Amino acid sequence: PSPSKPLLTRDDQFRSYLYVGQMVEAELWLNRLVSKAPDDAELRELLGRLFEHKGDGAAAASQYGRALELRLAASPETDAQPFAGLYVKLSTLAPANPLVEKLAALFHSKNDQTAPPEHADETAGDGLDPEVHYTLGVAYKNMGLLDEAQEEFSVAMKSSAVFLDSCLMTAVCLKER
């Protein structure tokens, strides 16, 4: 018999933990995987997403920064644009991080017409980034304010960057009701 493939990818497993609201289990699972493979950029990104989901921006920024370093070190080409999303998350969560300043030229020098991130033009009517609304929604949900959380998630859904996560969290709120 051939070795069996895992039923779920790591990303699918991560999403399933979030879907059922098992943050502690997700963190334990990811920390166990990261301890076995500390230089796995994908795991670092997932851990960053978990911390961001929990509202811990500093820990998320730390993981995103490490993932970005790992991806850039492993990339033989000089084009860093595939990793621009990680840079944007890092610079949003921790603008004072030394890595942000160090890599600024790498991500902003192309023709000096700095292309905005794919969701930069997607702002809510109040001018806030939809990711801010998503983070507020998570905070409200964690405090048990489900109506307020759903309201924030509905605003955040206007952004492609957090659309799926906002839908998932809306479902979690509805399930808790």
CA distance 92 to 87: 8
How large a percentage of the chain has pLDDT more than 70? 81
Cβ atoms of 54 and 138 closer than 8 Å: yes
pLDDT band at 6 (very low <50, low <70, confident <90, very high): low
Residue 109 has pLDDT above 70, yes or no: no
The residue among 56, 18, 11 whose CA lies nearest residue 168 is 18
pLDDT digits (tens, 9 = 90+) for 137-149: 888 898 999 999 9
Look at the pTM and tell me if it is higher than 0.75: no
The residue among 171, 151, 176 whose CA lies nearest residue 16 is 171
Cβ atoms of 89 and 57 closer than 8 Å: no
- Looking at residue 19, its pLDDT comes to 84
Residue 25 has pLDDT above 50, yes or no: yes
The 3 state secondary structure assigned to the chain is CCCCCCCCCHHHHHHHHHHCCCHHHHHHHHHHHHHHCCCCHHHHHHHHHHHHHHCCHHHHHHHHHHHHHHHHHHCCCCCCHHHHHHHHHHHHHCCCCHHHHHHHHHHHCHHHCCCCCCCCCCCCCCCCCHHHHHHHHHHHHHCCCHHHHHHHHHHHCCCCCCHHHHHHHHHHHHHHC
The single residue listed with the structure tokens 């950029």 is 41
pLDDT band at 80 (very low <50, low <70, confident <90, very high): low
38 against 118, higher pLDDT: 38
